[in-house]
Structure 1
Amino acid sequence: MNRKFLKYLVSVGLAIGIVTACKDEFLTRDPQGQYSPTALKTPSGVEGLLIGAYSMIDGQGLDGQDPWNNDIQSWVFGGLASDDSYKGTDAGDQPEQSFIEKYDFQPTNNHIKNKWRGLYKGVARTNDVINTLAEVEGMSEARRAQIIAEARFLRGLFHFEAKKMWKTVPYIDENTYKLDDLESTKIPNDKDIWPMIEADFKAASDALPVTQSQVGRPTKSAALAFLAKAYMYQGWNVTTGAPNLPALQKAKPVLEQIVASGKFSLAPRFEDNFLIGTRNNAESIFEIQYSVSSASGDAADAGVGLAHPYIDPWGCCGFYQPSQNLVNAFKTTATGLPLLDAFNDSDVKNDQGLKYSDPFEPYTGTLDPRLDVTVGRRGILFKDFKIHGSDFIRDPTYAGPYSPKKHISEKAGFGVNGWGNLSSNNYRIMRYGMVLLWLAEVEVELGNLENARKLVNQIRTRAANPAGFVKKAVQGPKSRDDYTVLNEPAANYVIKTYDQAWADAATARKAVRFESRLEFAMEGHRFFDLQRWGIAAETLNKYVTVEATKRVYKKGAVFTKGKNEYFPIPQEAIDRSYKEGAATLTQDPAYK
C-alpha cells in the first residue's frame, strides 16, 4: 500500500477516535485509536474521515512542513505581503518570509509549496469522504446528505483558498481524485474553476441545516456567505480594477438573504470578535475552532504559530508585526472620520529606540479605538497580560515597535505552557461585519451610495461603543505584571459615523475600502482585498516607498503589476504532475 496513504489512514483513524468521543464540542478531544481501511467504510469510519478533512483547515498533520505555511489565517500571504505588517522577529529568522514580504515570489519557496500541499491534501480528504460514503451501509439518508454537504463546503473552501493564491489552479472532485496521490497533482489547471467552487457552496447551502448542534460545523448561512465571497472575488478585474457588475449582481441577493435571515448581528463590542470568552457569538457565521488549552507547544502551533510577542509568558517568536502604515491608518479627524488620503503623511508616535524604562510621552492625537484592539503599542495594556513596550519586540531596529494582538487570547485561555494560548482563540474566518461591508462594496458599484453609507455606519457605530474601548493602565512598581486598570480610555479615541452623503462613487469606494482595512486589519485578508480590487500594485508600491525609509531591508522592493497579484505554482507540484512524459500543471506565464 502507498506509504502516504498509510500515514493518511493513521491520521484518519485518530480522527475517528475523536468523533466517537464527541459530545457538545467539536474537534476538542484528544485522539484515540487507529482504524483499518475496512473500518472506514462504516458510519463511524466515514464520520472520522470527515473530521480528518476538517483537520486540514489549520494545516496540522502534514509531514515535512511547518503549520504556519498552511495556516488558514494566512498571515504569511495575506498579511506579510500586504501593507498591514512586517515579517517581524529578526533578519535571520524564517528568511523565506522575507522574500514574500518583498514580492520576490519564487516557485521554489517552501512556504508557497507547502500552502499548495496543504490545500490540495485537504481537497483529497473531502473527496475521500464522498467516495467512501458511497460504500457505507446503515446510515440514514438525512445524515448521508449532511456529510456530503459538509464535505462539499470544505472542498469549496480549500479550492477557494487556492484560487486566491494562484491565478490558475486545478479543481479536483470525487471523480477525478486518485487515492494513491493525495496531492492530486496530475489534473491540469486549464479551466476557470470559479463555477465549480460556486457549485460546491450552492450545493452545501441547499443541504446544510440552519443551525448545527456542534460548533465548528458549517450552516446554510456559512455556505451562502462563502458563495457570496466567491462572487466578490470575481467582482473586479485584478489587473485594471474595473468592476465586473454581473458578479457583484450575483453577490447582492445572497448577501441580502443573510442579512434578512435575522440570525446575525454585530457583537456589541469590536473586541468580542477576538476574545475566547466571546467565541461563537451572534456575529460569527463560520469560526475555526481551537481548544482552550494545549498539552504542548507543538499543539499550540494550530493557532497562529510564531506570531506572538517575544516577551514572557510567550518567550517566542515575534513574527507578524504591524506596520507603521497600518497604525497611521487609525488616525481620525477632529470630527472622528478617517484620513482617507492623508493618513500616512505623519506617524503616530511610537517608542522606536527606547527601552521600557525610558520616559515616553504618548501620542495625543485622535484615534479610531479599533487600533488598540488590533495592535500592541507602547503604554497600552496588551490584552490582560502586560503594558506594551519595547521588551515585547525581538529586534525593534529591524521590525519596528508594534505587536499583533487580535489572535492572542486573554489569560483565561492561556495553556499549560508559553505557547498554549495560541491554540485557544478561535479564528472568525466569516463574520457578519464582512457581509455588511461586502454589501456596501456592491451598493457603491451599483450606484446606491446612500445604502452603502448606512451599511458602513453600522460598522462605525459599533466601533464607537465606549464599552469596547481599551482602558488605560498604569504600571506598578513591583514588576511588569503589576499594573492598575483605570476607568478611562487608553488614548484619545474619537470615532463618528459618516453623516454627510458621499459626493460620488470614487469617494464612497475609497471610504468603504478604508473601512474594510480598519475592521479586518491583521486578520490575513488585506493582500487579497488589494488583489481583488485591482489596486495592489499602486497601493503596495506607494507603501514600500515610505516604509523603506523606516525599514532599510524594504529598499528595492517592487510589486510588479500583472505578476505579483498571484503567487507562482510551486515547482515541486509541476514536477510531480508529469503524466505520459508531459507536465499537466502549467506555470503562470508571468513567472516563466
Structure 2
Amino acid sequence: MKINNIIKFCLSAGLVFGVATACSDEFLTREPQGQYSPSALQTAKGVEGILVGAYAMIDGQGLDGQDAWNNDIQSWVFGGIASDDAYKGTDAGDQPEQSFIEKWDFQPTSNHIKNKWRGLFKGVARSNDVLNTLKNVTDISDDRRKQIIAEARFLRGLFHFEAKKMWKTIPYIDENTYKLDDLESTKVPNDKDVWPNIEADFKAAMDVLPNTQSQVGRPTKWAAMAFLAKAYMYQGWNISTGAANTAKLQAAKAILDQIVASGKFKLVDNFRDNHDASTRNNAESIFEIQYASSSASGDAANAGVGLAHPYTSPWGCCGFYQPSQNLVNAYKTDANGLPLLDSFNDSDVKNDQGVGLDDPYTPYDGALDPRLDHTVGRRGILFIDYKIHNRDFIRDQTYAGPYSPKKHIPSKAFTGVNGWANLTSNNYRIMRYSMILLWLAECEVELGNLERARTLVNQIRERAANPAGFVQKAIQGSTRDAYTLVTDSKGNPVPAANYVIKPYSTPWTDAATARKAVRFETRLEFAMEGHRFFDLVRWGIAAETLNKYNAVESTKRVYKKGGVFVKGKHEFFPIPQEAIDRSEKDGKPTLTQDPAYK
C-alpha cells in the first residue's frame, strides 16, 4: 500500500470520524517512501492511521480504479435492484451491468461483482494490517492496544460478513494468512465454513469494546453484539428448505434480549429521523456509517449512492434505483390499518405513468402506510423539503416507471451536488434498534412465542402511526420549485395522503401467519436500504418470491421479461473470475467457483 493512499484514507475517514490523533499534520505530511514499509508505521500514531484506513474501507469508496457504487456499503445494487424493492432505473443504456443483475444474470466477469469482492477483501487486508503492525508497536498503552485489536476484529468480522452474504463460500483471512504484497487476491482456499470465524471476531470485539465511544462511528460493545446476533440470524434458516435452525435463533435471541433489556436504545418518535442528516446518531442508532455534512469535504461525503438521485434539480443526475410498483403496493392497508399480506399486489396504487408534466393529477386516495412517503417519491407528494414530486424527477418513465428513491437523500440543508457525482451527507444506519426488535420477533415466532412477536411488531407499527411523523400535504406554487404546506383550521399539518396504520389487535395463534406478518413488516420498515435481497435469501424464499414478482412486474417493465431466478443458484453471486485467476498457487487456483456457476 502506498503512503499517499494512507493519506487519502486519513483525509476521508479522518474528516468523518474527527480523528485528530490518527491523522496528525506530521503523519499526513510524511514524505512518500515508495512502497509502504511496515516498520515506518510501527508507532502509536502509525497504527492509529492504519486503523483509520481500515474504517475508510467500510463505505467502499477508498479504492482507486473502480466506481464507488460497485462496493457501496448500502448495497443498493445487490440488495436492492436484485430484489423486488427496486428497478435499476434511469434508462436502458446506462450501467448495463446492473440490468443483468436486476434479471439475475450474474456473471463471474461482472465488474460490479468483481469490485465488490475486491473492496471487501481490501477491507479485510487493512484490518489485518492493523493487527500485524500493532504487534511491533511499543509506545502505546495496554488499554489502547486492546481497544485497537477489538476495533480491528470488529471491522474484519464486518467485511467477512458482508462477503458471506454475497458468496456461498469465501475464504477467511486472518492476520496470520494475510500477505501484505498481495492485497487484492488470496491464496487461502474457500473450502471451509467461515461463520465460526466471523462469530469469533464479533465475540472478541464484544468482550473488549466499551459501552460508549467518544468518537461517533467507532463501534461499541452493543454494535458488536448486534452484528453477532445478525450473524446468527443469517444462519437461522436453511436457505434450501426454509426450515428454521432453532439453535442459531436461540443464540440470536439471547443477545437481542440483552440489547433490549439494556435500555441503551429506543425507537425515535419520527420514522424520518432515521433517514436525515439532521438527526444522525440518534437514540435508535447502534452503528452508523458516518458521512460529512458538506460536499466541501470531498471524499468524506457519500458518493456510493451518487447515481441514485432524481434526475431533476438540484441533483440533475442520474435516476438510478427506482422503487418498484410491487414495493409501492405493499404499503396499502385495509380498513383495520393492517397490511394486505396476501393480496397487496392484486391492484396497483395509482401512479402518473404517462401523465404529462403539467397535466392535472390527484394522488391515490386509498388507505396507505405512512412509511410509503418516507421511502418512495411519487407524483403529487412533497419530496422531503425540496419540491413536489413530478415526472421531471424521472429520467425515462417509460423504461423504469414513475417513482424515485427517498431514504438516503437528506433534507435540503445537507445536500451537496458535485457535477454528475451527487454527494450526500446522510449517514447509513446499518444497525439500528428497529432491526433488533424485528429480528427478535422473527426468533419468537420460530420458538413459539407468538404473542411476544406481536408485541414487538406493534412497537414498530405504533411508531409509524405517530401523526407527527406523517408527510405533510403541499400545494404546487407558481414555479416548479415552489410549494405551500397545507394546515387545517387549527393550524395543524394536513397529511399528504390517506394514512391509515394500526397495530395488530388480535392475538396471533398461527405461526405461519405470524411469520408472514413479521417478514412483511421487515420489508415495510427497511425497504430501499439494501437488505431485501439478502433477507429473502436467508429466509429461503427468494426464488418463489422473486419469480412471482417478476411475472407481474414484467408486464409493466417490458425489459424484465425472461428474467428467471433459479433456486439453488441465484441466492449467491459467482466468485469473480479475476479473483480465481489471481489466487493461483503452484499452478493451481486456491479459490473454487460456486458449482452452480461452473
CA distance in structure 2 between the aligned counterparts of 1:291 and 1:40, rounded to whole angstroms = 27
Q: Contact 2:13–2:53 at 8 Å: present in 1 too?
A: no
How far is 1:39 from its partner? 3.6
State the identity as a percent. Answer: 76
Q: Secondary structure at the match of 2:58?
A: helix
Q: Contact 1:21–1:29 at 8 Å: present in 2 too?
A: no
Alignment of 1:63-74 (within 5 A): 63-74=64-75
Q: Secondary structure at the match of 1:351?
A: coil
Q: Which residue of 1 is the match for residue 490 of structure 2? A: none
CA distance in structure 2 between the aligned counterparts of 1:402 and 1:207, rounded to whole angstroms = 45
Q: Contact 2:58–2:73 at 8 Å: present in 1 too?
A: yes
CA distance in structure 2 between the aligned counterparts of 1:554 and 1:29, rounded to whole angstroms = 52
Q: Secondary structure at the match of 1:471?
A: coil
* Residue 500 (structure 2) aligned to one of 467, 490, 494: 494
Q: Which amino acid aligns with 1:386?
A: K
Q: Which residue of 2 is the match for residue 482 of structure 1? A: 482
Q: Which residue of 1 is the match for residue 220 of structure 2? A: 219
* Residue 5 (structure 2) aligned to one of 11, 21, 29: 11
CA distance in structure 2 between the aligned counterparts of 1:280 and 1:240, rounded to whole angstroms = 38
How far is 1:300 from its partner? 4.7
* Residue 534 (structure 1) aligned to one of 524, 531, 540: 540
| 1:343-377 deviation per Cα after TM superposition (whole angstroms, max 9, x unaligned) | 00000000001122011121110000000000000
Q: Which residue of 2 is the match for residue 233 of structure 1? A: 234
Q: Which residue of 2 is the match for residue 196 of structure 1? A: 197
CA distance in structure 2 between the aligned counterparts of 1:199 and 1:19, rounded to whole angstroms = 26
* 1:121 to 1:417, Cα distance in 2 relative to 1, 3 A: closer
Q: Secondary structure at the match of 1:57?
A: coil
Q: Contact 1:408–1:421 at 8 Å: present in 2 too?
A: no
* 1:310 to 1:130, Cα distance in 2 relative to 1, 3 A: same
| 1:530-580 deviation per Cα after TM superposition (whole angstroms, max 9, x unaligned) | 000000000000000000100000001000000000000000000001100
Q: Which residue of 2 is the match for residue 512 of structure 1? A: 518
Q: Contact 2:86–2:321 at 8 Å: present in 1 too?
A: yes
Q: Which amino acid aligns with 2:123?
A: G
What's the C-alpha RMSD, in Å, of the aligned pairs?
1.9
CA distance in structure 1 between the aligned counterparts of 2:480 and 2:72, rounded to whole angstroms = 32
CA distance in structure 1 between the aligned counterparts of 2:343 and 2:11, rounded to whole angstroms = 56
Q: Contact 1:20–1:44 at 8 Å: present in 2 too?
A: no
Q: Contact 2:161–2:231 at 8 Å: present in 1 too?
A: yes
CA distance in structure 2 between the aligned counterparts of 1:485 and 1:418, rounded to whole angstroms = 30
Q: Which residue of 2 is the match for residue 290 of structure 1? A: 291
Q: Which amino acid aligns with 2:317?
A: C
Q: Which residue of 1 is the match for residue 554 of structure 2? A: 548
The answer to whether residue 533 in structure 2 is matched with residue 521 in structure 1 is no
Q: Contact 1:290–1:302 at 8 Å: present in 2 too?
A: no
Alignment of 1:247-262 (within 5 A): 247-262=248-263
Q: Contact 1:156–1:201 at 8 Å: present in 2 too?
A: yes
How far is 1:266 from its partner? 0.3
How many pairs does the alignment contain?
585
Q: Secondary structure at the match of 2:202?
A: helix
Q: Which residue of 2 is the match for residue 577 of structure 1? A: 583
CA distance in structure 2 between the aligned counterparts of 1:418 and 1:263, rounded to whole angstroms = 41
Q: Secondary structure at the match of 2:236?
A: coil
Q: Which amino acid aligns with 1:226?
A: F
Q: Secondary structure at the match of 2:231?
A: helix
How far is 1:481 from its partner? 1.3
Q: Contact 1:381–1:387 at 8 Å: present in 2 too?
A: yes
Alignment of 1:17-416 (within 5 A): 32-34=28-30, 37=37, 38-295=39-296, 300=301, 302-415=303-416
Q: Secondary structure at the match of 2:296?
A: coil
How far is 1:320 from its partner? 0.3
Q: Secondary structure at the match of 1:527?
A: helix
* 1:374 to 1:19, Cα distance in 2 relative to 1, 3 A: closer
Higher mean alpha-carbon deviation, 579-588 vs 303-312, is at 303-312
How far is 1:503 from its partner? 3.0
CA distance in structure 1 between the aligned counterparts of 2:434 and 2:10, rounded to whole angstroms = 35
Q: Secondary structure at the match of 1:58?
A: coil
Q: Contact 1:19–1:47 at 8 Å: present in 2 too?
A: no
How far is 1:29 from its partner? 11
* Residue 566 (structure 2) aligned to one of 560, 563, 572: 560
How far is 1:302 from its partner? 2.9
Structure 2 residue runs of 5 or longer lacking an equivalent are 487-492
CA distance in structure 2 between the aligned counterparts of 1:298 and 1:391, rounded to whole angstroms = 29
CA distance in structure 2 between the aligned counterparts of 1:232 and 1:282, rounded to whole angstroms = 23
How far is 1:33 from its partner? 2.9
CA distance in structure 1 between the aligned counterparts of 2:354 and 2:556, rounded to whole angstroms = 12
Q: Contact 1:295–1:416 at 8 Å: present in 2 too?
A: no
| 1:122-152 deviation per Cα after TM superposition (whole angstroms, max 9, x unaligned) | 0000000000011111100000000010000
CA distance in structure 2 between the aligned counterparts of 1:144 and 1:423, rounded to whole angstroms = 34
CA distance in structure 1 between the aligned counterparts of 2:420 and 2:436, rounded to whole angstroms = 33
CA distance in structure 1 between the aligned counterparts of 2:471 and 2:252, rounded to whole angstroms = 35
Q: Which amino acid aligns with 2:6?
A: V
| 1:78-137 deviation per Cα after TM superposition (whole angstroms, max 9, x unaligned) | 000000000000000000000000000010011000000000000000000000011111
Q: Contact 2:575–2:593 at 8 Å: present in 1 too?
A: yes
How far is 1:419 from its partner? 6.3
Q: Which amino acid aligns with 1:509?
A: R
How far is 1:523 from its partner? 0.2
CA distance in structure 2 between the aligned counterparts of 1:66 and 1:570, rounded to whole angstroms = 16
Q: Which residue of 2 is the match for residue 440 of structure 1? A: 441
Q: Secondary structure at the match of 2:429?
A: strand
CA distance in structure 2 between the aligned counterparts of 1:472 and 1:24, rounded to whole angstroms = 39
How far is 1:17 from its partner? 6.1
| 1:422-470 deviation per Cα after TM superposition (whole angstroms, max 9, x unaligned) | 3300000000000000000000000000000000000000000000000
How far is 1:28 from its partner? 11
* 1:84 to 1:29, Cα distance in 2 relative to 1, 3 A: farther
Q: Secondary structure at the match of 2:473?
A: strand
How far is 1:15 from its partner? 4.0
CA distance in structure 1 between the aligned counterparts of 2:246 and 2:104, rounded to whole angstroms = 30
Q: Contact 2:434–2:460 at 8 Å: present in 1 too?
A: yes
How far is 1:63 from its partner? 2.1
Q: Contact 1:364–1:491 at 8 Å: present in 2 too?
A: yes
Q: Which residue of 1 is the match for residue 489 of structure 2? A: none
* 1:424 to 1:66, Cα distance in 2 relative to 1, 3 A: same
How far is 1:16 from its partner? 4.9
Q: Which amino acid aligns with 1:358?
A: D
Normalised TM-score (structure 1): 0.96
Structure 1 residue runs of 5 or longer lacking an equivalent are none
